[in-house]
């Protein structure tokens, strides 16, 4: 699992500022610690879809999409991949411990874990794309609950459809937050035509929080 320092520094809010040597040393320590204590797991499944009266059904699941934003995202897709990934509970415990005993290291470990789950999810993402290509299909950018206008309550439906608690130990709270906390879920549309450059956006480009301090430069993402 590759943890990109650029992403870590972004989560820490450095922007284009170079971190000092002490911060870089702590990032080194935290990335090694994550490799030692994390339990990275992911799962995914591809579903056929049916569109009827502006309602999209994922065959073989209880998921129904009627939101305009999601329907537009999946408008050219014939299948949908559901993806979930987690770093495991020990990461959450260690972050909480450091927040109480070494707050600065706790913040840095949290940022490193965020970069780590992104890296893990990208691995699952790549596998889905390979499966899609083997079926002469192309995958869109991944789109997850909580980004853009994707309702957060779909966390529950996605995990249920994937049987994620049994497979990777991932669950959701009553407020639709993932547990373990350093986890991600998303959908990916699979279509017969290759997405155009402007369509294949990243999660930052699809999110409506344009003033977010963690948002990456869109000119570098396209």
> 33 — phi, psi (to 5°)?
-65, -40
> 185 — phi, psi (to 5°)?
-130, 155
pLDDT digits (tens, 9 = 90+) for 106-119: 999 999 999 999 99
pTM (2 d.p.): 0.86
Q: Distance of alpha carbon 176 from its chain centroid, rounded?
A: 15
- For the chain, state the CA radius of gyration: 18
pLDDT digits (tens, 9 = 90+) for 38-77: 999 999 999 999 998 889 999 999 999 999 999 999 999 9
Residue 48 to residue 179: CA distance in whole angstroms: 28
Give the pLDDT of residue 217: 46
Who contacts 39 (Cβ-Cβ below 8 Å, separation ≥6)? 86, 87, 88, 89, 90, 169
Return the closest-CA partner of residue 111 out of 148, 40, 119: 119
* CA distances from residue 170 to 45, 63, 99, 165 in whole angstroms, order as listed: 15, 18, 23, 4
* CA distances from residue 94 to 2, 44, 170 in whole angstroms, order as listed: 20, 27, 18
Average pLDDT of the residues of the chain: 89
> 6 — phi, psi (to 5°)?
-60, -40
Contact 109, 30 (CB under 8 A): yes
Contact 152, 146 (CB under 8 A): yes
Question: If DSSP codes are grouped into helix, strand and coil, which group holds residue 76?
Answer: coil
Give the pLDDT of residue 198: 53
Give the pLDDT of residue 222: 34
Q: Would the pLDDT of 3 be above 80? A: yes
**Left (φ > 0), alpha (ψ -120 to 50) or beta: where does 84 sit?**
beta
Question: If DSSP codes are grouped into helix, strand and coil, which group holds residue 72?
Answer: helix
């Amino acid at each position: 699992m590759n943890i990109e320092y650029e992403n870590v520094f972004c989560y820490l809010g450095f922007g284009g500022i170079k971190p000092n040597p002490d911060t870089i040393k702590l990032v080194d320590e935290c990335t090694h610690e994550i490799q030692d204590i994390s339990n990275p797991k992911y799962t995914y499944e591809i579903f056929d879809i049916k569109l009827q009266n502006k309602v999209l059904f994922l065959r073989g699941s209880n998921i129904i999409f009627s939101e305009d934003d999601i329907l537009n995202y999946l408008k050219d897709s014939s299948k949908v991949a559901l993806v979930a990934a987690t770093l495991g509970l020990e990461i959450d415990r260690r972050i909480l411990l450091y927040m109480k005993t070494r707050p600065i290291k706790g913040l840095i470990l949290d940022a490193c874990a965020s970069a780590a789950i992104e890296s893990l999810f990208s691995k699952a993402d790549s596998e889905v794309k390979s499966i899609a290509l083997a079926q002469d299909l192309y995958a869109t950018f991944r789109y997850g609950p909580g980004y853009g206008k994707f309702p957060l309550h779909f966390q529950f439906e996605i995990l249920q459809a994937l049987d994620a608690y049994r497979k990777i130990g991932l669950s959701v709270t009553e407020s639709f937050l993932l547990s373990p906390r350093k986890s991600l879920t998303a959908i990916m549309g699979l279509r017969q035509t290759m997405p155009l450059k402007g369509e294949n956006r990243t999660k930052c480009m699809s999110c409506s929080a344009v003033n977010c301090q963690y948002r990456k430069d869109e000119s570098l993402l396209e």
